[in-house]
Amino acid sequence: MKTFLAKSEDTGFGSRSITSGRLLNADGTFRVKRKGIRYFDPYMWMIHMPWPRFFLLLFVGYLLINICFALLFLIAGVENLTGDITTGAGAFLTAFFFSIQTFTTVGYGYLSPVTPLANWIASLDAFCGLLYIALSTGMFFARFAIPGSSILFSEIAVVCSFQQKKAMMLRLANLHNNKIIDLDATMVMTYVDKTQKARKYQGVELQIKRVMMFPLNWTLVHIIDDDSPLNGLSLSDLEDLKVEFIVLIKGYDETYAQTISASRSYIASEIRWDQRFKVMYEDNDENITLHLDRINDLEPDPGASVSY
């Protein structure tokens, strides 16, 4: 089996770094764990964390900052505040809620600082509140501005008859109702060469590798002919060679006015032989209905007897 992946199409994994196991997780994320040098980027950390954790972090930070200022007001003495002042345990709550009013610039009016020390603490409290709200708002909109991938891949690929030959197929669809144009598809097959104890890569030619628009599902088709890296291989051969197919999709999202990308990985256990995809849309006089929940629906291949 010869490799013919050009250097300009290098996957970035190399041939010696990994000799077994899949390179990408099934959802397209890298199966790479970095060690040796610790680098923490708070911005990237907050941008990519899940939304529930993001809001929890903002709330916890909000509480901690106001607790710190409440303690400062207590250390300075609640007698530096005027209004309905309580003593004992209630003094902390008084200072805490006064800090929240100052932090958020609400100011209900029943508490106010009366000494220079209390005014300086309140000024610092208000300044931190303005910074916190500004930074939180910026992070909030930055998270919304990231173009998330709305491309849905089938969880399995199939090998079935196609134009008097065999072909490998997988399909994808747009989860959202937005417009994605100028889609490009690239597929690479990687396998373990046991004789050289290295991982090899081969480009996989697609029948159609570019579409102008993406209104329905798109089935990627690789015809298994004499030039195909799959020519003469069975499912057991794919398992023995630790074959993995890496698919990369790039397109232009008009909603975000940005280029988006999505990737997916398929290994031998995720390929179904002699089955084909069922049609996942219905056409009537009024409109076309695309059933996204049918993206993995299969049926027996009526041309399964076709040989390579």
Q: Report yes or no on 1 lying in a domain.
A: no
User: Do 252 and 180 belong to one domain?
Assistant: yes
Spatial distance between the Cα atoms of 294 and 177, rounded to a whole number of angstroms: 17
Mean pLDDT, range 187-204, rounded to an integer: 84
pTM metric for this prediction: 0.72
Which CATH number does the domain housing residue 87 bear?
1.10.287.70
User: Do 196 and 249 belong to one domain?
Assistant: yes
User: Do 188 and 295 belong to one domain?
Assistant: yes
Q: What tens digit of pLDDT does each residue of 93-149 get?
A: 888 988 999 999 887 877 888 889 989 999 999 999 999 999 999 999 888 877 767
The residue from 145, 173, 201 where one domain ends is 145
**Model confidence band, residue 204 (pLDDT cutoffs 50, 70, 90):** very high
Structural domains in the chain (count): 2
Q: Report yes or no on 289 lying in a domain.
A: yes
User: Are the C-beta atoms of 200 and 3 separated by less than 8 Å?
Assistant: yes
Q: What tens digit of pLDDT does each residue of 34-70 get?
A: 777 777 788 888 888 899 999 999 999 999 999 999 9
User: Do 160 and 296 belong to one domain?
Assistant: yes
User: Are the C-beta atoms of 201 and 5 separated by less than 8 Å?
Assistant: yes
User: Do 159 and 268 belong to one domain?
Assistant: yes
User: Do 159 and 295 belong to one domain?
Assistant: yes
Which CATH number does the domain housing residue 232 bear?
2.60.40.1400
The residue from 118, 145, 172 where one domain ends is 145
Domain residues for the domain of 63 are 42-145
